[in-house]
Amino acid sequence: MGLSRRTFNALAGTTALGLALGGSGALTCAYAAQTVPTGPPPGTPGADGRGHTIGFDHYSLVVDGRRLVVWSGEMHPFRLPSPSLWRDVLQKMRAHGYNTVSIYVSWNYHSPAPGHYDFTGIRDLDLFLRMASETGLYVILRPGPYINAEIDGGGFPGWLTATEGRARTADPAYLSHVDEWLTRVNAIVARHLYTKGGGTVLLYQIENEYDAYVTDPAGRDYMAHLYRKVRADGIDVPLFHNDKGRNGYWVPGSFDTGGETGRWLYGFDGYPSPTLAPPDWGHFGAGGVKGGATASPRTPGFVPEFGGGWFDPWGGAWFDGKGYAESRRLRDAAYERRFYLTNLANGITLHSVYMTFGGTSWGWLPAPVVYTSYDYGAAIDEGRQPTAKLIPMHQLGHLLRHIPDFAKLDRAPDVEANAAADGLKAYHLTNPDTGAHVYVLRNDGDVPVASGLPLHGAGLPVPVAVPAQDARLLAAGIRLGRRKLRYSNAQPMLALTAGRQEIAVLTGRSGEETVTALECASEPTVTVLEGEAEQSYADGLLRVEAQLDGMTRVLVSGGGTSTPLLLLLADDETSVRLWPHDTPSGPVLVYGPALLRTAAVDGPSVGLTGDTIEAADLEVWGPRGIHELTWNERELKAHATSSGSLRAAQPLAGAGAVALPALTNGWLRKTENPESAPAFDDSSWTPAEKTTTHSTTPVPAGQPVLFADDYSFHYGDVWYRGRFTDATGAESVSLAYSTGTQGLLMAWLDGRPLGTHRMPVPDNKTVRKGSWADTAVFSVPEELRTDEPHVLSVLVRRMQHDQDGKTQDTHKVARGLTAVTFTGAAPQVSWRLQGEAAPDPVRGPQNNGGLYGERNGWHLPGYGDGGWEAVQLPRADRRQGVTWYRTSFRLAVDAGTDASVGLVLDDDPARAYRVQIFLNGWNMGQYINDVGPQHTFVLPNGILHTRGANTLALAVLSDGTTPSGPSDVRLTLLGAAAGGVPVAPVASPGRST
């Protein structure tokens, strides 16, 4: 429903701070505070073909004239290369209370070469945006052009490294590329704007944590250019930028928005230390621009990225990555309560958690600092499995969706906890329209705190308990349907009307004692339907006391209103089995299964889809007259209950067993690196003849440019072959190279291995952080110090381009060989190089590097490996170079089961080798046996054929100093549910295409 013209005129004529009409007539505007009353939030968004307004004041966004708290989570479509599974993650987010998904769109993922853009297949942005709107989620769109995101070049395409013009400035050469990118993205996004009813795109970010040139014309002009470009492309939703902290950078008015006002939001990112007290940095925080309210007083508190986990670096002595279990432990459910509730208490009403589903930096997507898994310790893990971190998100998300008071809060006078409450921090807020009071109670200490707190309207202090390192939100004076909650020491989760009754859910940790006081004009009839509860009535107040243990159901009838209220007191585990869902016929509340994906009401029938893991009861509250039930399209026998619900007669079945084959048989093996042999024909390779570059790495005097990017080789391995004759007296050769962390170089002279150099050597902390350039020095075998023709073959494993967080063009630091010198001789070397072949037309530019096997399709299904040697694992070869292993396996997972499968590689960590994993031709990541920490690689369904044949190819790069595997290679089940989404196979062309 759009803002009526009359309401709009009233706003504009009297109190609006500023507004602008988009060319199409769609409206976004800034409101003056106090003009928008607290009322029900907007309904579930979708592509409804209607116009919508998106405005804001300093309290919140205002959508169609109603306040909206944005409860968002970040996921990256490019980190889940199976579009069907996007829907799975989106549905899980929606079910667990998120109303918005925030996404980066990564330029490098879509552009293999200047002028070439791909938005098809796994890159189908249009499809993603459709799925988000079908799921009922708003979208925050973040297409950069720079995104950081621990992705290669921070999102910049490989080819941009070889172009002139300082990136992330108003340099015209750079801007011409940027405009091309934005034109392509925006052509898709413009079809999905919520303002036009084409989709659910609500907000749009330009640039990313841009903190260089903040006061410099190069920066201001750049931001102004991006702003104008995006507007010119028809994007009329509010735009914003994510300040790297609450620095006050890029607040409204800090750059030229072409005369538009009121359509720019200020946002700042927060990644606070999980071991320190949560900072107060929203509207209500103390301090100046850095901490408090002064950064942008007229826009709502907006955190476009709040750290919901953290990325994990490579293992080994240098970085010491510990794996994502540690990340998830440090930022667990209690962390979420402490930090996210503190944000709400500081006036943050647009809140996005980075990451909510981290996914996989497959192929050559990862920036050098991270390994393949981008699990991030997020609430939904890399294998798409829900974690306990979803519990607080679920409880808070549904609360913000159902109870409107939280969208408009002012600071209220401090409340003092009693003396026993040392260490308890209490925030007190109030809604000026409704008079509701909200409390956030946080315990930063290491012991639980129990106290009495003078909650508004309670008279005597109300007992509250907060476990160590935890927090809770309490409310007093909110409406639960027709009744008013005077106070409760349990956290409210939702209130809705289902048919003839109202339902309210309150939550807390299992075992907690709760007291809930409801205003009732006369004494109500109270029936405890499940569990144990005490009740008493006096002075117009019904008090219900219960210990949280599973679910306690208390039916309150009469007491001044004819509509009964079902109070559900649910402990954490139970609350996350309660699924509210809006349907056009009214709200539905489902209890029991592990996930509710969709709910539809058709006359007397309720159709539900979702997942079970264990067997689960199914119970539904919904509109009047429902008496038929289907689950995943199967009709169920159901009967009415005393709780006013419909309950399935039989429990839903859980997931069946999933059998995974052992990968012990059928392995075939073949060695490669023919490039190391002197006679190898390199005549088709690119001669290294350039003398100038746009790289930031200087070209050594008297040498050609050897940087691979200058010859259009941007991803993965690159080979060099240098020919020379005058090697008489040559003692050693020095190969300077640059790769990013964990890169390596191996060399052969006339086919003879000279050795391998690694960057950094795992225990060598002398390599300067940030440069990741080093020099390999090999001695020249005496018998090769001759004036005959020689060939020096060098293989460089590049670990991708640096990010450019500081706007220093660091993505342009050279990759590959940089300089070659000899001692004892000064031969003239003529170089040729070869990296990746033309990008795979389906899998894209980041799927392959330049290994011989990759250039010749050894990774692809259908490759003719008939002549390969049959072998058994484990292996213990000692060889410098590249060896491939292939096998195939069949899966026969039940069609109704969503099995999430991973591949595990394991071996003695002393063995120096690494493996690229190709499943059906898709590069699922890189395993480094002696670095870690990653051993399990997620194989996304769609690429993985769960009902059919699969081809697994492993490209093993071993440095020859130790025996090399692979040894233990096996499939593992990461989770299984009965249900899931339909999964279309991801195109996996074989050798012939």
Residue number, 303 or 429, with CB nearest to ligand GAL: 303
Any idea of the CA torsion for 394, 397, 398, 399, to the nearest 10 degrees? 120
Among 227, 311, 579, 772, binds ligand GAL (CB under 6 A): 311
Residue number, 22 or 313, with CB nearest to ligand GAL: 313
Residue 82: HSE in the Cβ half-sphere, 13 Å Cα cutoff: 27
Residue number, 637 or 769, with CB nearest to ligand GAL: 769
Among 236, 260, 269, 572, binds ligand GAL (CB under 6 A): 269
536, burial (CB in 10 Å: exposed 0-12, middle 13-18, buried 19+): exposed
Q: Does 208 bind ligand GAL (CB under 6 A)?
A: yes
Three-class DSSP category at 145: coil
Among 26, 149, 188, 493, binds ligand GAL (CB under 6 A): 149
Residue number, 106 or 254, with CB nearest to ligand GAL: 106
Q: Does 381 bind ligand GAL (CB under 6 A)?
A: no
DSSP 944: B
Q: Does 57 bind ligand GAL (CB under 6 A)?
A: no
Report phi then psi at 711, rounded to 5: -110, 25
Residue 624: CB atoms within 10 Å: 11
CB of 147 to ligand GAL, least distance (A): 6
Residue number, 148 or 923, with CB nearest to ligand GAL: 148
Residue number, 48 or 211, with CB nearest to ligand GAL: 211
The rounded distance, in Å, linking the Cα atoms of 168 and 209 is 11
Q: Does 64 bind ligand GAL (CB under 6 A)?
A: no
Structure tokens at 621: 């509250």
Structure tokens at 684: 């088709």
User: Among 550, 476, 472, 548, which residue's Cα sits nearest to residue 513?
Assistant: 548
Per-residue mark of binding to ligand GAL, 859-888 (x: CB under 6 A): ------------------------------
List binders of ligand GAL among 737-756 (CB under 6 A). none
For residues 199 and 192, the answer to whether their CB atoms sit within 8 Å is yes
Q: What residue type is assigned to position 662 of the chain?
A: A
CB of 800 to ligand GAL, least distance (A): 14
Three-class DSSP category at 176: helix
Q: Does 375 bind ligand GAL (CB under 6 A)?
A: no
CB of 249 to ligand GAL, least distance (A): 13
DSSP β-ladder status, 264-268 and 239-243: parallel
Residue number, 64 or 150, with CB nearest to ligand GAL: 150
Q: What share of the chain is helix, strand, coil (3-state, %, to 5)?
A: 15, 35, 45
CB of 259 to ligand GAL, least distance (A): 29
* Nearest residue (beta carbon) to ligand GAL: 148
CB of 379 to ligand GAL, least distance (A): 15
Q: What is the 3 state secondary structure string of 280-293?
A: CCCCCCCCCCCCCH
The rounded distance, in Å, linking the Cα atoms of 87 and 137 is 11
- The region of 32-40, 145-153, 473-481, 882-890 touching ligand GAL under the rule CB under 6 A is 145-153
Residue number, 80 or 556, with CB nearest to ligand GAL: 80
For residues 520 and 540, the answer to whether their CB atoms sit within 8 Å is yes
- The region of 146-154, 600-608, 874-882, 922-930 touching ligand GAL under the rule CB under 6 A is 146-154
List binders of ligand GAL among 568-607 (CB under 6 A). none
Q: What residue type is assigned to position 606 of the chain?
A: V
Residue number, 377 or 835, with CB nearest to ligand GAL: 377
Instruction: Report how many residues bind ligand GAL under the rule CB under 6 A.
Output: 9
DSSP 79: G
Residue number, 303 or 708, with CB nearest to ligand GAL: 303
For residues 395 and 406, the answer to whether their CB atoms sit within 8 Å is no
Sign of CA dihedral 102, 107, 112, 114: positive
User: Among 24, 31, 15, which residue's Cα sits nearest to residue 66?
Assistant: 31
Residue number, 207 or 709, with CB nearest to ligand GAL: 207
CB of 335 to ligand GAL, least distance (A): 16
Residue 176: CB atoms within 10 Å: 12
Residue number, 144 or 857, with CB nearest to ligand GAL: 144
- The region of 143-151, 286-294, 437-445, 979-987 touching ligand GAL under the rule CB under 6 A is 143-151
For residues 535 and 525, the answer to whether their CB atoms sit within 8 Å is no
DSSP letters of 108-119? HHH-SBTTB---
Give the chain's end-to-end CA distance (angstroms, integer): 50
The rounded distance, in Å, linking the Cα atoms of 351 and 399 is 14
Q: Is the peptide bond before 145 cis (omega within 30 degrees of 0)?
A: yes
Residue number, 100 or 208, with CB nearest to ligand GAL: 208
CB of 778 to ligand GAL, least distance (A): 37
CB of 61 to ligand GAL, least distance (A): 21
CB of 374 to ligand GAL, least distance (A): 9
Any idea of the CA torsion for 426, 427, 432, 436, to the nearest 10 degrees? -40
H/E stretch holding 134: helix 125-135
Structure tokens at 740: 């990013």
CB of 209 to ligand GAL, least distance (A): 5
CB of 739 to ligand GAL, least distance (A): 21
Residue partners of 250: CB distance under 8 A and separation at least 6: 210, 214, 223, 241, 243, 266
Q: Does 209 bind ligand GAL (CB under 6 A)?
A: yes
Structure tokens at 873: 């694992």
CB of 355 to ligand GAL, least distance (A): 8
For residues 612 and 593, the answer to whether their CB atoms sit within 8 Å is yes
Among 28, 91, 148, 501, binds ligand GAL (CB under 6 A): 148
- The region of 141-149, 624-632, 646-654, 859-867 touching ligand GAL under the rule CB under 6 A is 141-149
Q: Does 305 bind ligand GAL (CB under 6 A)?
A: yes
- The region of 142-150, 225-233, 538-546, 841-849 touching ligand GAL under the rule CB under 6 A is 142-150
The rounded distance, in Å, linking the Cα atoms of 881 and 883 is 7
CB of 269 to ligand GAL, least distance (A): 5
CB of 250 to ligand GAL, least distance (A): 14
Residue number, 208 or 632, with CB nearest to ligand GAL: 208
- The region of 148-156, 648-656, 741-749, 943-951 touching ligand GAL under the rule CB under 6 A is 148-156
Q: Note the residues at the interface with ligand GAL (CB under 6 A).
A: 147-150, 208-209, 269, 305, 311
